[in-house]
Amino acid sequence: MRILIKDNYRDVSVEAASMVTTTLRQKPGAVLGLATGSTPLGLYEELVRIHRGEGLDFSDVTTFNLDEYLGLTGEHPQSYRSFMDENLFNHINIRKERTHVPDGSLPAGDAEEMCLEFEAAIRRTGGIDLQVLGIGGNGHIAFNEPGSSTSSRTRLVALDERTIKDNARFYSSEDEVPRFALSMGIGTILEAREILLLATGEQKAQAVAAAVEGPVTNQVPSSALQLHPRVTVILDEAAASLLQNASRYRFIQKAEKQVGVQLF
């Protein structure tokens, strides 16, 4: 894993945007895996800025989002589809038909078929080139809660109590937070060619330390990322504050700049 520790949220977002931009300049028809939540907001803002200011082109790009709440239509203000439209897709020249978010409006009984089709659609595009991830306070990635299998695929999942509490801030009460979601599996995520995990704030420090330096265990779903050969983790100081090897990561970060290579 390549661990980059930045001074603040803005620097995390700028670094992440520069990685996405590099991917798109090398491969204009790239397939991006995208995440929701407050963490990637700065990244999306920066991508919109680069699109407007430097002409970053999304016309050939395809995207797949990690997850969606079950029971919300795409028009619901808390749906991840609305989140992506409002924070990124409506402001860049992407073709909406190439943006994929699992459909949370289907009855639970249709979820299995929809999830199989979602996976098939990823395969038809040739696979995800770069997957952006956030991390839950309990160490989840997408909605793969503790206990999720490392080989899990896109499926219907039940949310963890901590996730419901964490996400209640977007709803008027905790009771309104959906209890189920459709989520890419850990196995699906690990098939991306490259992965970018973003985490900021001290409320993520424990999850980050467990994901990056702890044992690979299904109790910390993000620890499965240690099994992938090309993962970059971009943290702010607060999210990195419980890392035992922080000074070594900083040393490697400097060495990368001197030598001009990426060290995973």
Question: Catalytic site residues?
Answer: 67, 138, 140, 145
**Residue 87 beta carbon to ligand GLP: minimum distance, rounded to whole angstroms:** 12
**Residue 24 beta carbon to ligand GLP: minimum distance, rounded to whole angstroms:** 22
Does 163 help bind ligand GLP (rule: CB under 6 A)? yes
CB neighbours of 34 closer than 8 A, spacing ≥ 6?
Answer: 40, 63, 64, 65, 66, 84, 88, 132
Is the separation of the CB atoms in 186 and 224 below 8 Å?
Answer: yes
H helices present in the chain, as ranges: 9-26, 41-54, 80-87, 111-124, 161-167, 186-190, 205-213, 246-259
Choice from 24, 66, 157, 239 touching ligand GLP (CB under 6 A) = 66
Does 231 help bind ligand GLP (rule: CB under 6 A)? no
Does an H or E element contain 223, and which? none
Does 39 help bind ligand GLP (rule: CB under 6 A)? yes
Nearer to ligand GLP, 57 or 71 (CB): 71
**Contact range with ligand GLP by CB under 6 A, out of 29-37, 101-109, 171-179, 247-255:** 29-37
User: Given strand 67-69, what is the order of strands in its sheet?
Assistant: 67-69, 180-183, 155-158
Does 145 help bind ligand GLP (rule: CB under 6 A)? no
Does 35 help bind ligand GLP (rule: CB under 6 A)? yes
Does 222 help bind ligand GLP (rule: CB under 6 A)? no
Helices 41-54 & 9-26 angle (0-180, nearest 10)? 50
Nearer to ligand GLP, 3 or 142 (CB): 142
Nearer to ligand GLP, 55 or 77 (CB): 77
Does 134 help bind ligand GLP (rule: CB under 6 A)? yes
Does 38 help bind ligand GLP (rule: CB under 6 A)? yes
Is the separation of the CB atoms in 79 and 174 below 8 Å?
Answer: no
**Cα 141 from Cα 135, distance rounded (Å):** 5
Residue bearing tokens 């790009």: 61
Contact set with ligand GLP (CB under 6 A):
35-39, 66-67, 134-136, 142-143, 163, 167
